[in-house]
Structure 1
Amino acid sequence: MPDFPASHRLRRGRYAEPNRIYLLTTNTLGREPVFKDFSLGRLIEGQFRYAQNQGWAKSLAWVVMPDHFHWLIELQQGTLSELMQKTKSLSTRAVNMSSGRKGSLWQQGYHDRALRRDEDLVKFAHYVVANPLRAGLVERIGDYPLWDAIWI
């Protein structure tokens, strides 16, 4: 069996199932803290909303950290790879146009975790939105501007 790079090994066996819940995570290229500028983070929020409006995924919870995001979704149509490719491509274009940046914004690949419906989704949503608190960026979840969850 060929020895694929890590990003290709992650994709082998990946199966996207409509109406399944997934926790998605991706990092900026070189973990650059692009979204310390909250106005640029709002552009990522806009991409999450766009994906929902297009019927690709229902956003359940998300947080945009300075150098990555976590996105809890219910996949509606297409594959995770298509969703992430569209989200990363459109957000790169928006951030680059807004900030004058050029080139790639995101590292290749992403991490996904499929969740069972019987798992405590509210607990996962709280875990997602509490990331800024655990990272020491704020003292209360509500103090961080780049998050949302349908239950909180």
Structure 2
Amino acid sequence: MPDHLHWLIVLKQGSLSDLMRRIKGRSAKRVNALSGQQGRLWQDGFHDRALRREEDILPAARYIVANPLRAGLVDRVGDYPLWDSVWL
């Protein structure tokens, strides 16, 4: 997606806030270095949703994978080059 990111992850250690801080920091440095830009890349904060039941994983994975289709970026889910999920 060009303006946001969906991830379905299993957090094995540390906090989600720490993980997001590291991801945002490292990716911003890399994107800025590659593009010759400086400054912020990401908005502050993030939105999370905890999945507490095993049966919630598949619907969440399907929602994430189909997001580019709903956004009109592709005609078929498999046409989006960055789609993948170990849960499907």
TM-score bracket, shorter-length normalisation: over 0.9
1:92 is matched with: 28
- Structure 1 stretches of 4+ with a deviation exceeding 3 A read none
Which structure is higher in strand share?
1
Per the alignment, residue 66 of structure 1 pairs with 2
1:80 lines up with 2:5 in the alignment: no
Identity of aligned residues (%): 64
The Cα of 1:144 is off from its aligned counterpart by: 0.7
| 1:27-62 superposed Cα distances (whole Å, 9 cap, x missing partner) | xxxxxxxxxxxxxxxxxxxxxxxxxxxxxxxxxxxx
Residue 102 (1) aligns with residue 42 (2)? no
Relative to the length of structure 2, the TM-score reads 0.93
Match of 2:55 in 1: 119
5+ unaligned residues in a row in structure 2: which ranges? none
Q: Indicate the residue corresponding to 2:84 in structure 1.
A: 148
TM-score norm. by structure 1 comes to 0.55
1:134 aligns with 2:53: no
Answer 1 or 2: higher relative contact order, Cα 8 Å, separation at least 6.
1
What are the ranges of 5 or more consecutive residues in structure 1 without an aligned counterpart? Answer: 1-64
SS of structure 2 residue aligned to 1:75? coil
Q: Distance in 2 between matches of 1:87 and 1:147?
A: 19
